[in-house]
Amino acid sequence: REITAQVLVNDRQDQAVEGATVFAKWHLPDGSEQFVQAVTSGDGYVTFTLSGKLRRGTYYLFVDDVQVADHFWNDARGLRSANIYVK
């Protein structure tokens, strides 16, 4: 099994942001957390993947922070989490 979550980082003009570091955490069905970070590509996306023998249940990805030189992340209007159920 594999679970993939994509995060898109856009600026105020709704343009993709390249080189933004996204700090996130997976919340796993057993209650544990796995912290991850990655840098956005030229199209503004970063992909986080869990694979292997994944348990049944709901998986959450929470975005904790996005860092870009000389910018402040305002999460008031953006999606910060998503859940995925594995059968």
- Give 63-76 pLDDT, tens digit per residue: 888 888 877 666 65
Question: Does the reported pTM lie above 0.75?
Answer: yes
Query: Given a cut of 50, is residue 32 above it in pLDDT?
Result: yes
Contact 52/59 with Cβ under 8 angstroms?
no
- Looking at the DSSP assignment, which residues form a beta bridge with residue 16? 10
Q: Note the pLDDT tens digit of each residue in 10-26.
A: 887 888 889 999 999 99
Cα distances from 29 to residues 7, 34, 55, 61, 84, in angstroms, run 21, 11, 7, 12, 10
